[in-house]
Copies of this chain bind each other. A is one copy, B any other.
Amino acid sequence: MTATAADLDRTVDDVARRATAASTPLAQAAPAVRADALRRAAAALGDHADELVALAQAETGLAETRLRGELTRTRVQLRLFAQVVTEGSYLDVRLDEADPDFVLGPRPDLRRTLWPVGPVLNFAASNFPFAFSVAGGDTAAALAVGCPVIVKAHPGHPRLSERVAGLVGAALVEAGLPEGTLQLVAAQDAGVALLDHPAVRAAAFTGSQRVGQLLAARAAARPTPIPFFGELGSVNPVLVTEAALRERADTLLAGYVASVSGSAGQLCTKPGFLLVPEGTAYDAAVVAAAADVPEHRLLNPAIADGYERRVAQALGADGVRVVHAGTLRRDDDEQGWVTPTVAAVSLDDLRAAGPTLLDEVFGPFSVIVEYPAGTDLADVVAELFPGNLTVTLHLGAHEADADRAALVARLGGHAGRVLLGGWPTGVAVTPAMQHGGPWPATTTDGTSVGTAAVGRFLRGVTYQDAPQELLPPPLRDDNPWDVPRTVSPRGASQQW
């Protein structure tokens, strides 16, 4: 083993040991303590907002307004998870009273709670340097339920990652959480070694389908496999009916271009396809809207390279026509600066092109697909867009009928979120959000946005006939954490 490999092993083992040591005290920390820690973390980010936004701008090229909004979102979601912890229903506590007359013979005292899985490895994303990075949603969800978190920093914003980890880590420890609650590693090989490490019990990832599939396979091939929650590719089709276009074509097409080009199209919910009836006149409105979009910097040179390659592939497919030709300019640092490109294709040519055209293009590129009259849009989604974070349907004012209800029900089988009107970009952080969908949108069912995200980092444990003194707090008779609980009283089974 080389000196470097030995160093890596030492670092990885040390990080893993610290996370393991933090596991039990963190799991047992009272909800009030964990909630206070999350709020302090949010406050620390707020206290250093100017510095952090400036760092993020320099490293990612994202606009200041966008970054300020994202930082606010990140603070809000930390506070939202603090509420989840305090409220306690996420533990899904179930108490079965001992029942000598249970219908299947005497039943012992059974008490079940969900409990943190243990150390979570979080691969940070490039496109949300706050909200899906060191102190982002995955970290907040895991910490909330009591899992130590090891973040593999994204190389696109290393200094920001260090600074956020420093500020948040200190706030957590000040609040009384153990050292080792939040750790950061930078090297790619450290991230991979940690994914293999027995101490790590779950992993979260936001990024490309290619890398996500590699890491998911690796997590599954461990001697002790672990759940891998990867958010991978999504093209977020938007379906428009003839009636919707008749009523509001200009608004729709302007909204489409705005949704495609926001954050330079580097959003997991960017609409990659707009499906409109054959014969729709859209060129003028698209060109007018796209021409107004200023040049934006892509996140890093590698994303610019990928964008350039994928756009060229897509535009090279048979039957593809350019509606608005955007630009890609390289500056002296190899960074890419872009304006949006919109293409068009018939449904048949899209089908014939396959993955060349159907796979996600990360950046401000989108394709308008013309479908023939009488097309069953649910069939199209099932065939060409079977797994997405979102699918959006724009209907006319009088189309909410039984046929459309059947269509919407089928769309729900292919996406985590179904929008009736509006645009999929701009994901609300809130209890009813689902950000995750059938493969390849996510590797495993579960959401990475909203309060339901905590479910990914929990597992059920039942205690049978345990004395009060040996139970975890949420299962004790005196319910010291004051969590909601569902009780199955003795005698109830006689009614089954």
Give A454 to B431 CA distance when docked, in angstroms. 21
Pick the residue among B96, B225, B419, B463 that contacts A464 (CB under 8 A). Answer: B419
Task: Indicate if A417 sits at the interface (CB-CB under 8 A).
Answer: yes
Contacts of A347 in B (CB 8 A): none
Contacts of A458 in B (CB 8 A): 445
CB distance from A142 to the nearest CB of B (A): 15
- State whether A416 touches B28 (Cβ < 8 A): no
- State whether B386 touches A428 (Cβ < 8 A): no
Interface string of A449-492 (1 = CB under 8 A from B): 01010000011111111111111100000000000001010000
Closest-by-CB residue of B relative to A202 is B445
Known: A79-B496, A220-B217, A496-B76. A466 touches B420 (CB 8 A): yes
CB distance from A407 to the nearest CB of B (A): 8
- State whether A104 touches B469 (Cβ < 8 A): no
- State whether A110 touches B418 (Cβ < 8 A): no
Pick the residue among B103, B420, B463, B466 that contacts A467 (CB under 8 A). Answer: B420
CB distance from A236 to the nearest CB of B (A): 12
Copies in the complex: 2
- State whether B103 touches A469 (Cβ < 8 A): no
Interface string of A63-79 (1 = CB under 8 A from B): 00000010011001001
Known: A107-B428, A224-B386, A400-B470. A24 touches B72 (CB 8 A): no
Interface locus among A10-18, A249-257, A432-440: A432-440
- State whether A472 touches B412 (Cβ < 8 A): yes
Interface string of A196-226 (1 = CB under 8 A from B): 0000000000000000000011001000110
- State whether A421 touches B452 (Cβ < 8 A): no
- Classify chain A's interface size: 35 or more
Q: Interface on A for B, CB 8 Å cutoff?
A: 23-24, 27-28, 69, 72-73, 76, 79-80, 83, 89, 92, 94-96, 102-105, 107-108, 110-112, 115, 117-118, 216-217, 220, 224-225, 227, 386-387, 400-402, 404-406, 408-410, 412-413, 415-422, 426, 428-434, 436, 438-440, 443-447, 450, 452, 458-472, 486, 488, 493, 496
Closest-by-CB residue of B relative to A73 is B104
- State whether B488 touches A431 (Cβ < 8 A): yes
Contacts of A409 in B (CB 8 A): 24, 27-28, 472
- State whether A433 touches B112 (Cβ < 8 A): yes
Give A5 to B486 CA distance when docked, in angstroms. 51
Contacts of A452 in B (CB 8 A): 92, 94, 112, 460
Give A470 to B434 CA distance when docked, in angstroms. 18
- State whether B433 touches A462 (Cβ < 8 A): yes
Contacts of A28 in B (CB 8 A): 409
Give A452 to B460 CA distance when docked, in angstroms. 9
Known: A76-B496, A412-B115, A470-B404. A430 touches B461 (CB 8 A): no
Additional 6 contacts, C-beta under 8 A, given A104-B429, A111-B432, A408-B466: A104-B428, A412-B463, A417-B461, A417-B463, A418-B461, A420-B465
- State whether B447 touches A460 (Cβ < 8 A): yes
- State whether B108 touches A428 (Cβ < 8 A): yes
List of 10 A-B pairs having minimum Cβ-Cβ separation, nearest first = A434-B462, A110-B432, A112-B432, A94-B432, A96-B432, A434-B460, A400-B467, A445-B459, A419-B464, A420-B466
Contacts of A94 in B (CB 8 A): 431-432, 452
- State whether B488 touches A430 (Cβ < 8 A): yes
Contacts of A401 in B (CB 8 A): 469
Among A69, A426, A440, A460, residue most surrounded by chain B Cβ atoms (within 10 Å): A460
Contacts of A467 in B (CB 8 A): 400, 420
Contacts of A434 in B (CB 8 A): 112, 460-462
Closest-by-CB residue of B relative to A221 is B217
- State whether B417 touches A462 (Cβ < 8 A): yes
23 pairs of residues in contact across A and B, judged by CB atoms under 8 Å: A27-B409, A76-B104, A76-B493, A79-B496, A80-B496, A83-B496, A95-B432, A96-B433, A107-B428, A111-B432, A112-B432, A112-B452, A118-B413, A217-B220, A224-B439, A405-B470, A408-B470, A418-B463, A419-B465, A421-B465, A422-B465, A430-B493, A436-B460
Among A103, A409, A496, residue most surrounded by chain B Cβ atoms (within 10 Å): A496
Give A417 to B115 CA distance when docked, in angstroms. 12
- State whether A110 touches B430 (Cβ < 8 A): yes
CB distance from A218 to the nearest CB of B (A): 11
CB distance from A432 to the nearest CB of B (A): 4
- State whether B428 touches A96 (Cβ < 8 A): yes
Give A73 to B496 CA distance when docked, in angstroms. 11
